[in-house]
Amino acid sequence: MLTDSCLEGQFSNDDGTELVRIASRCLQYEPRERPNAKSVVAALTPLQKRTDVSSLVLMGIIKEPEQATQISNLGDEGVTDELSFQMWSSQLQDTLNGKKQGGNAFRAKDFATAIECYTNFTESGTMVSPTVYVRHCLCYLMNNKAQEALGDAMQAQAVNPDGSTALYLQAAALFSLGMDNDARETLKNAVALDSETKGN
């Protein structure tokens, strides 16, 4: 459910589970509970099976292997690292700018623009944000696109399973789709999760 369907069959279940575990640690609410970059790299290194392909290609920073070869042939490994970091930083900055534009549009109740910005953010695959999925979902609900809203609410729950907001949004989307029984059940789950959280 969490993995792009086009990657199906390209990794083992164990590797997929490990990736989700690493990602979930990186998404912890408390910064001190998140791993540092060095430990993330150390955890990911054993999972990279394609050592014959440049990491620039594997990460989608460079599309063609030939481009990676051209960069690596610059003769200075430090230059290669610097270039790849600059490209990654630029991609990350574009993603963050898109998220910010989406936030501005959301606050201005320009839901169509917010949907476009948040769609670009989620499709980039650079970062994962439960807040973006929640806002994306709300924008779809405001535009009477319940099916799309339901998909985002489910993604928000997958990213942050301890939060009840995603369940409330799922219930709203299900009601809009006429799936009243499912909506009521989801609403009960949301209330139960809220009670459990407050009890802790």
**pLDDT tens, position by position, 53-112:** 555 555 554 455 554 444 444 444 444 455 455 665 666 777 778 888 888 999 999 999
Q: Pick out the chain residues at pLDDT < 50.
A: 61-62, 67-80, 83
- What is residue 74's predicted lDDT score, i.e. its pLDDT? 45
Domain boundaries, the chain: 1-49
User: Cβ distance 173 to 146 under 8 Å?
Assistant: yes
* pTM of the predicted structure, to 2 decimals: 0.52
pLDDT at 79: 46
CB 154 within 8 A of CB 186: no
- The pLDDT of residue 170 is 93
Please state the separation of Cα 132 from the chain's center in Å: 9
pLDDT at 88: 56
DSSP codes joined into one string, 86-132? HHHHHHHHHHHHHHHHHHHHHHTT-HHHHHHHHHHHHHH-S---HHH
**CA neighbor of 189 nearest in space, from 158, 156, 159, 166:** 166
Q: Which two tokens stand for residue 75?
A: 């003769």
